[in-house]
Structure 1
């Protein structure tokens, strides 16, 4: 992973490369980033730059022996600790046993989330964890001198899920680190870390991707521009979510939502029943996704109703719909619609029959419209 492979975020990249050039490397750094952001990819690019044999002004060379090994994640001075769980695919419980799967997972896409990793290893709904035994074993991994690079580097992904015993074991190592060793803690939920761990790290705050950065990245996948714009709008800087959205088949949420609202406006009960039947056949993630899309558009309509249209991030394809729809409901009705959709989302998450949830929601929303 090189810095140039990560869209945007020039300020963070510049800060990291400058710290290496000026030899101002804190022994423990916390990459604090939003879900689906660039925390993990940025830490990998940083590690690649640190041990690159021919550093360029803004990036690693990508060609030397060190960079070649980092590209495949097989550098002998690069170590990983990450959540694991009992798996049918792997006979073992430590990160070491899962390394082949981990390398493939990261190389394919470094923007995914913990549930994606647990699915990858076949955890069968088990929760991932970093055991205290693994945390205590860090010193064994780092007790010898670096083989090839200037530094030994340990990247810990998702330290926020460690229990108290594991966190305390990590804390002791951070207090007395081995010589020429760097710890890169990568967390999208840093609020769950012990404050004592946070206090012993230098925090690198990695912001969410902008809509434009998400769009530029998605264009590499040859998706149509409408799908790219909708994915950027819905993902809100979460590149993991954006990639899922742009790869979903036949998932034009805007068309579905517009048809649903028109049927509610007309109080077309027959069509609303058919929509509920269709909704019932979808998987839960798609059901939730449609409701989340509805919530987002309803909130955009509230913003438009307040005369703050300049603040809208909605793609042009949906903007006309937002403007026209806002004329059919008043401010109070929009607030009630948001409340009803939130309730429906809660029920879907708790496995209430989807057909009943959507039909009830549709008939309730139908009463909020101002019909001429």
Structure 2
């Protein structure tokens, strides 16, 4: 990964390159950005630049021995720790056992989110985890001198899901880091990290991609300007979501949501039971994705109902649905519906039976609709 491969974010790139050029490298850096943003891609480009043998002021050379190995993520001085889960594909309890899959996953697309990784390794409905044993084993990974580069680099993806024991083990290492070692922590939920870990890192705040940057990136993946424009609206700066949408023949979430809301409005219990059965067969991440989509549309409805429609970021057909739906519920009801969906999301995350959660949610929300007499 080179800096030139990442759309936009020129000021962040300049800051990172300047820190290498001036030899002002903090031993621990926190790449803190939004879901589906550039945090991981920038950390990889930064790692490539640090050990490049012929770097310029603009970028890594891309052809030296170090760059060639980084392009395949096989550089002996580059180490990775990331969440893992029990998988039918892999028998192992550390990131090392999953490393070949991780390389394929990241090289395919560096703008990734945790649910995609868990799907990639067939973790089914299991939660990802970075164990305390893995955190304690960091010193073993970094105990020797750098083999080829000037620095040893450890990239920790999603340290925010570490439990207290794992976090404390990492904290001890950050307090007394090995010589010529750089830690790159990549997160999209920095608020879940221990404040003591954050305080021992140099935080790099990475903004979401702008609409123009997303649209520019999507030109590599579609020749349809209208499709690129629609996906840009839906992804809201999330390149992971943008790529998923562009690769699908159709995004069925809007149709699913409309059918669900109509069934709630009609209080069609038989159809709601069918939808609950369908919801129950989905994997957990798709279930959460549908609830997240519902929350986004409810937010749009709240904005529309308050006369601030110019702030909405939705394609035309979705806007029409928002306008019509807003007539069927009042502001107070929408607020309660948002609370109910948030509660359902919480229960899904904690492995409550999805069919029960969804049916209960549907029956609870149905009375909030204004029906014609």
State the TM-score bracket (shorter-chain normalisation).
0.7 to 0.9
Q: Indicate conservation of the 8 Å contact 1:211/1:237, yes or no.
A: yes
SS in 2 for 1:156: strand
Q: Which has the larger radius of gyration?
A: 1
Q: When the two structures are aligned, how many residues end up with a matched partner?
A: 367
Where structure 1 has 5 or more consecutive residues not aligned to the other structure, the ranges are none
Q: Which moved more, 1:87-96 or 1:100-109?
A: 87-96
Does the C-alpha gap of structure 1 residues 100 and 333 become closer, same or farther in structure 2, counting only changes over 3 Å?
Answer: closer
Give the aligned partner of residue 355 of structure 2: 352
Distance apart, 1:157 and its partner CA:
1.7
Counterparts of 2:124 and 2:294, CA distance in 1: 31
The two structures have a TM-score, normalised by structure 1, of 0.81
Corresponding residue for residue 111 of structure 2 = 111
Which residue matches 2:65?
Answer: 65
Residues 252-261 or 125-134, more deviating? 252-261
User: C-alpha separation between the residues in 2 aligned to 1:220 and 1:66?
Assistant: 27
RMSD: 3.5
1:330-341 → structure 2 map (5 Å cutoff): 330-332=330-332, 334-335=334-335, 338=338
In the other structure, the counterpart of 1:177 is 177
Residues 1:359 and 1:204: Cα distance change in structure 2 (over 3 Å):
closer
8 A Cα contact 2:130 2:161, kept in partner: yes
- Take 1:344 and 1:142, find their aligned partners in 2: how far apart are those partners? 43
Query: 2:308 maps to what in 1?
Result: 308
- Distance across 1 between alignment mates of 2:113 and 2:67: 25
**Are positions 1:281 and 2:278 aligned together?**
yes
1:55: which partner in 2? 55
Describe the shift of the 1:171–1:259 C-alpha distance in structure 2 as closer, same or farther (beyond 3 A): closer
Structure 2: segments with no counterpart, 5+ residues: none
1:281 aligns to what SS in structure 2? helix
The Cα shift of 1:76 comes to 1.5
Give the Cα–Cα distance (whole angstroms) in 2 for the partners of residues 48 and 130 of structure 1: 25
2:100 counterpart of 1:94: no
Q: Normalization by structure 2: what TM-score?
A: 0.81
Which residues of 2 match residues 208-247 of structure 1 at below 5 A? 208-222=208-222, 224-225=224-225, 227-247=227-247
Name the CA distance, whole Å, in 2 between partners of 1:90 and 1:257.
36
Q: Measure, in 1, the Cα distance between the counterparts of 2:226 and 2:152.
A: 45
Q: CA deviation at 1:197?
A: 2.0
351-360 or 142-151, which deviates more? 351-360
- CA pair 243-370 structure 1, distance change in 2 beyond 3 A: farther
Preserved CA contact (<8 Å) 2:260 2:275: no
The CA deviation at 1:38 is 1.8
Closer, same or farther in 2 for the Cα pair 1:114/1:295, shift >3 Å? Answer: closer
Hey, what does 1:148 align to over in structure 2?
148
C-alpha change, 1:64 and 1:278, in structure 2 (3 Å) is same
- Displacement of 1:46: 0.6
